[in-house]
Amino acid sequence: MRLRYAKRGRLRFTSHRDFQRAFERALRRVAVPMAYSAGFTPHPKVSYANAAPTGAASEAEYVEIALVERRDPEEIREALDASLPPGLDVVEVVEARTANLADRLEASVWKVELPGVTAEAASDAVAKFLAAGPVEVQRQTKTGLRTFDVRGAVVKIETVPYVDTTVSEPCAILRLVVRHTTPAVRPDDVLTGLRQVADLAPPTPPLVTRLAQGLLDQETGEVTDPLAPDRDALEMSAAGSGDNIVT
């Protein structure tokens, strides 16, 4: 089964390792009939895909689990969601009917809120970034200091209106579509690139939220739901077999 979960509110500061521990405890707590690996130290077959960085909220994190018997996806979703802390929310569960989940996550859509930055300043920075050639930034990774081109990974970048009229301070909002690359280009890398090409430096830390990730439509530059084909396959299977499957 493939699950989409969200990291919301203060739980955006949960590290990927923290989520792994909480999720695997939840699997045991609700007695999900997990399949286990072979060998001297069997582990539940859980595959995590492209987790958001610590500090970023997300509406589109994905994990895949293998079961030894068939279960209703909605029952699994409700049980796991109730067993995880508020802010780690299981949003959707479907049966996997397609190839490797990781291969279906080609790009991400990010929202970046920039408190203290005007929409005009953000738009000017975006225009300069789009007009630039390669924009190289450096980041420390597990393998050492890496230099990579962030401009090449950005499929789309635009400003969107800020609609909260109760706040007097300006707050620009960027919407990014970023192709998944190696090493991964993160929203903070894009902000580093904007600072280099346009001297855009938010006075306070940005608030970053992943809105979606999935297959990249090469024509539109948009991201499509990686679970949608699975959902269609389940509906066809249910129609053909008469099974009552909830997705």
| Tens-place pLDDT, residues 50-60 | 999 999 999 99
The pLDDT score that the predictor gives to residue 247 is: 30
User: SS3 of 160, please?
Assistant: strand
Domains defined along the chain, listed by start: 2-103 (3.30.70.580), 106-224 (3.30.70)
Comparing 21 with 161, which gets the higher pLDDT? 21
| Tens-place pLDDT, residues 16-42 | 999 999 999 999 999 999 999 988 888
CA-based nearest residue to 59, from 22, 96, 89: 89
What are the phi and psi torsion angles at 119 (to 5°)? -60, -35
For the cut 70, the answer to whether the pLDDT of residue 240 exceeds it is: no
Comparing 36 with 142, which gets the higher pLDDT? 36
| Mean pLDDT, rounded, for 75-80 | 97
For the cut 70, the answer to whether the pLDDT of residue 244 exceeds it is: no
Tokens at 162, concatenated? 């800020």
- Spatial contact of 111 and 213, defined as CB atoms under 8 Å apart: no
For the cut 50, the answer to whether the pLDDT of residue 242 exceeds it is: no
Distances (CA, A) of 60 to 16, 50, 87, 134: 14, 10, 13, 29
Q: What percent of the chain has pLDDT over 90?
A: 76
The pLDDT score that the predictor gives to residue 163 is: 74
CA-based nearest residue to 65, from 78, 77, 52: 77
| Mean pLDDT, rounded, for 37-48 | 91
Distances (CA, A) of 87 to 9, 19, 22, 90: 6, 11, 12, 9
User: SS3 of 228, please?
Assistant: helix
